[in-house]
Structure 1
């Protein structure tokens, strides 16, 4: 893999730390800002909504920018709003910084995914995707637990300062390592008319049923992941019985699983996606249900946090690579489509998990919601596959009759 992919993964590490670290900081933020935990959970949903809106819009904007300019603009904006979030005393301002940070993150990830796909062979998109997402999983292993420790020792604001500081070397590395060509081509786009024509051409990729179904599956599977992950800290402290010191360990364990899942997904996504996705989906569904039933048992919780992290990211990373394959006619916006779908899930997951929490159904409830979302993904994927096979049989019959 080209070295520049690892540079981009460094920035994704900082952004992934920011996106995921709230799961370990949620109780402290709620207490400091004098809001309930479900209301504090809206910070995760707000970030996801910003990613949803920002992914396609910022990808369109970057059509006229060089790779370096686009990535630097998005990353510097991300850094600045984290400084603002670290110093504000207003929950409303904090919420707004999460939206702006998400817009910047969305633009960065969309351009980074498109850049990664363009830097490797046509049949290696899965491996390139796994390198980028490796930054996210390393954030789960190291960044998120470190953020939780910082939050416990010096308050949640320290974690925001840490994200800003980690972003600085990524800015320097992008200046030195990222090519200056356009984000979607080696030839810069000039003229609003040319950029608009390219945008219209790439948006036509959304007519593909295969792409639309894959985007739906991305949203549902990622929604299941975020539904539980957002409320993992209160789950392990109030249901499993771990102390506050156990939260960073559980977050790190989930991150270890996610890294293993991305690594496995990257190796299989290019060659055996049809085998991995249904088998992984069924295992994921059973795992969430089993977790809900055994969350009060410490040993079971430790095992299932690791297993579900692995399965969630193996299936999720494979789906992202399949979006890039299905959106081959949209080399720039394909990354935006994938980012938006992932964050539709990241928005609906915490929201859906918060509904039973607000109704007083307890902290096991998000686990059941995660199981339901994966079940919906399996049904949607099964129906789409049945339709595809029926269409293929019909085409064979017409060919035979002719």
Structure 2
């Protein structure tokens, strides 16, 4: 949750700053700013991050790849991709929706994007605090909330005040579920923690790619700037189906990776995600 909080802070500061720079100094300025910030981060990593000793037994890729024999891992990949992709399907086209549908001046866009980031930060903090005790509850409630907020955006985007409020709420619900999504991945692929973290990150990025792609398709189909909200809601509904399937597999007899092989997993009513599992960077 702490590391995901860094992503939330980036949404608070970076996204509106990029929108402001792009509007006033051209789109290239935003990329120059990203390059400069990355250089500062590189110096910080090189000078401030302590050295980590190499473990006596290095991870073996062949042994870690066995986690992909567990169907629960693939269900979790689908869950992360659909839930995240649904939100970013709408968020990626929030700027033209605010100006062309809600009727806001372009100067409002960076502030509304910042509001999304504030919601994301608040959601990360709250979701991270309760995900360990109520993992599936967080997943269900957060994705249901995202679906409701996306539908509301599709219906009421023409009311500027409602659209602004929904930007905050969508950011909140999206990142409220992020710690639980990550914890669940470490639960089902905990025998290969390095690959589990990489897989969760890849699933998030797959959602961040497929969602905007779908949003662009529906806009190109002349369905309007509210259509990505509806398409995103469709993705999150599918994500809810993935949560239900994951819960069913968790309660029934499934498999879990242990010691480099796949062994039977005994039924369990509730996950117990490790509080020390690190979210994806």
- Structure-1-length-normalised TM-score: 0.61
Deviations 1:73-115 (A, max 9, x none): xxxxxxxxxxxxxxxxxxxxxxxxxxxxxxxxxxxxxxxxxxx
Q: Does structure 1 residue 351 correspond to structure 2 residue 220?
A: no
Q: State the alpha-carbon separation in 1 of the partners of residues 193 and 29 from structure 2.
A: 38
1:390 Cα deviation (Å)?
4.8
In the TM superposition, what is the alpha-carbon distance from 1:321 to its structure 2 partner?
2.4
Q: Distance in 1 between matches of 2:150 and 2:175?
A: 14
Report the alpha carbon displacement of residue 215 of structure 1 after superposing the two structures with TM: 1.5
Q: Are 2:183 and 1:321 aligned?
A: yes
Give the Cα separation in 1 of the matches to 2:178 and 2:2.
Answer: 14
Which of 236, 249, 270 pairs up with 2:111? 249
Structure 1 residue aligned with 2:90, among 228, 243, 247? 228
2:176 counterpart SS class: helix
Please give the per-residue CA displacement for 1:32-74, whole angstroms capped at 9, x wherever unaligned: xxxxxxxxxxxxxxxxxxxxxxxxxxxxxxxxxxxxxxxxxxx
Q: Which residue of 2 aligns with 1:202?
A: 64
Quick one: distance in 2 between partners of 1:295 and 1:159? 27
* 8 Å CA contact 2:9, 2:121 repeated in 1: yes
Give the CA deviation at 1:136.
Answer: 1.3
Residues 287-327 of structure 1, C-alpha deviation per residue, up to 9 Å, x if partnerless? 11111100000111111111111001111332022212322
1:188 is displaced (CA, Å) by 7.7
Structure 2 CA distance for partners of 1:388 and 1:166, relative to 1, 3 Å? closer
Of 169, 178, 186, 2:55 maps to 186
Q: Which has the higher contact order (CA 8 A, sep 6+)?
A: 2
Contact 2:88/2:211 (8 A) holds in 1? yes
User: How is 1:279-298 mapped onto 2 (pairs within 5 angstroms)?
Assistant: 279-298=141-160
Given candidates 223, 239, 251, the residue that maps to 1:361 is: 223
Task: Please give the alpha-carbon distance, in whole angstroms, between the structure 2 residues aligned to 1:250 and 1:313.
Answer: 17
Match of 1:164 among 35, 52, 59: 35
TM-superposed deviation, 1:187: 3.8
Q: CA deviation at 1:387?
A: 4.6
Residues 3-402 of structure 1 aligned to structure 2 (within 5 Å): 130-181=1-52, 186-187=55-56, 189=58, 198-391=60-253
SS in 2 for 1:296: coil
**Which runs of 5 or more residues in structure 1 are unaligned?**
1-129, 190-194, 397-402
Could you tell me how far apart the structure 1 residues matched to 2:235 and 2:35 are? 33
CA RMSD of aligned residues (A): 1.9
Partner of 1:29: none
Looking at structure 2, the residues matched to 334 and 178 of structure 1 have their Cα atoms a distance apart, in angstroms, of 22
TM-score, reference length from structure 2: 0.85
Q: Which digits, 9 at most, give the CA deviation of each residue in 1:172-230, with x for residues without a partner?
A: 22112323336xx53484xxxxx6xx001111112223222112100001101210111
Counterpart contact for 1:261–1:313, Cα < 8 Å: yes
Runs in 1 of length 4+ with deviation above 4 angstroms? none
Distance 1:391 1:281, change over 3 A: same
Q: SS at 1:245's partner residue?
A: helix
User: Whose helix fraction is larger, Structure 1's or Structure 2's?
Assistant: 1
Counterparts in 2 of 1:144 and 1:388: CA distance versus 1, 3 Å? closer
Aligned residues: 256
Residues 122-142 of structure 1: CA deviation (Å, up to 9, x unaligned): xxxxxxxx2212221111111
Q: Distance in 2 between matches of 1:313 and 1:209?
A: 25
- Counterpart contact for 1:262–1:314, Cα < 8 Å: yes
Cα 1:176–1:167 shift into 2, 3 Å: same
